[in-house]
Structures are given as structure tokens and as C-alpha cells.
Amino acid sequence: MSVSQQYRDAWEGYWKDTSSASGEAIWDSEPSLTAIPHMELFAPHAVASLPVVDLGCGNGTQTRYLATRFPRAIGVDLSHTAIEHALRADTEGVAEFRQLSLTDADGIRELHERLGDVNVYMRAVIHQSEPQDRARVAAAVAALVGSAGRAFVAELTSGSRAVLQKAVQSPGGPPPKLSKVFTHGLKPADADDSEVERLLREAGLTVLAQGATVLPQTEYLADGTRIDLPAQWLVLGPAG
């Protein structure tokens, strides 16, 4: 089962309305603020000899960094336009990119058959997925990890809603990059805090480490404060 056409169109429309410039998407923060600190948490558990798959890679900023840490890096995204952005940005060809819905069980299975067990990096995907699709997203993580891989998952928590609400109520209205998210019908921080871990466990994964963090954004409040969204991180492996 694939995502709804409305959801697919929302993301395609967002990426078509967003240039390939670095930082143009509100979540397109530099790896120094995102994938690098995440790797400090993930590295003690990741299997360094395995490839890494960046689920929901967007324009591939984090994927390109992950390619420096693993022998092979593959970015996957629902949006065809996002993948086009990623391919254009990867001028040195350090990573691979593929359009694929995480709810496409056959496509995920084919990817696993081609790559074998992998490390998974997934940032802020479950929290904005449609409720009926979240279990399938978690299942995709488990399927790719297989029996030997590991996963790093970072997701917004409910505390993000208050930060976003403050930004929306800023003088002059929401900042432009945040306004674009809402204009295209995307719904950040939509999942409950406990839902993410529960879905991943039900998919057949076990939590090896976890903690609280923030996901820095590329947008700022009217007073110049960067929008940092409260989040949780989990490192996971196959149950048993």
C-alpha cells in the first residue's frame, strides 16, 4: 500500500516550490548541527562495514555527509523532485539516491535484497507521516536493518508544537520557511511522543540507546533566535 495521493502531492509540491540552495528547506541544517552530532551517538552501535540508507533524505545534505562515514550511502525519498535536488547537489557523486515510498513494502524488500542488511539513518519522518502509514514506515526501518544492521531515528516530540506555535505567532506572522511548510499541508510534530518508540518496537526492533535532543532548523524567530525543535533520538537493532 502506498501513501495517499494527497500526501504525495503535498511533498512534491513542497519540493517544487523549494530551490536547490542549501538551507532553503527549514530542516536542511548543516551536518555540523545534525548528522555529525547524530553520528557521535550512533557510531558506538553502527556496523561500520555496512552501507547506510538515509530514509526521507530530501535534498541529500545529510546523505552526503554519511557517505564519508560508511562505505556506501543511499538516500531515499518519496518525492521525485527532492531526489532531483539531491542528485544536482551531489556534484562529486559520493552518494546514491532513489525515489521510493517507505510504505512500499515490495520496494523496500527489493532494496534490502540488493544491499543486504544496512545501517539506517532517519530524521523526522514518522512524526509527519499520515497516521495510517506510521507503522509501515517503522516496518521499513526494521526490514532494512535485517538481522545485522542498526538504525538511528530522530523524531520531533510534543514540545515542538509549542515552539512552532510561538513562531506562528511571531510579529508579522510565521517566518517564510515555516509558512511554506503549512502552505503545502505538511504537519510537523503530529505523532505522540510514545508512538514512535512503540511502533519501532512492534516492527521488531529493540532500543539500544535513546535520549532527548533538538533538531536545529534553518529559520529564526523575529528576535533572531534560531528555531530548535525538541526531539528524541533512538538507536535500534533487531530484537533478539
Cα–Cα distance list, 193 to 101, 167, 189, 199 (Å): 23, 21, 9, 11
pLDDT category of residue 34 using cuts at 50, 70 and 90:
very high
Q: Write down all domains in the chain, each with its CATH number in brackets.
A: 5-238 (3.40.50.150)
Residue with cell 545485522: 148
According to DSSP, the residues that pair with 156 across neighbouring strands are: 231
Quick one: DSSP state of residue 3?
P
The stretch 108-132 carries a mean pLDDT of 97
pLDDT category of residue 176 using cuts at 50, 70 and 90:
very high
> Which pLDDT does position 1 carry in this prediction?
57
Question: Side by side, which strands form the sheet with 151-156?
Answer: 96-99, 73-77, 52-55, 119-123, 151-156, 226-238, 205-220
The stretch 20-27 carries a mean pLDDT of 93
Quick one: DSSP state of residue 2?
P
pTM summary value: 0.97
> Which pLDDT does position 240 carry in this prediction?
78
For 48-105, the pLDDT digits (tens) are 999 999 999 999 999 999 999 999 999 999 999 999 999 999 999 999 999 999 999 9
Residue closest to 61 by CA, chosen among 37, 27, 17, 38:
27
Helix (H) or strand (E) holding 70: none
Residue closest to 227 by CA, chosen among 167, 170, 155:
167
Task: Identify the sign of the CA torsion 174, 218, 209, 149.
Answer: positive
Amino acid present at 211: G
Residue closest to 43 by CA, chosen among 238, 189, 211, 235:
235
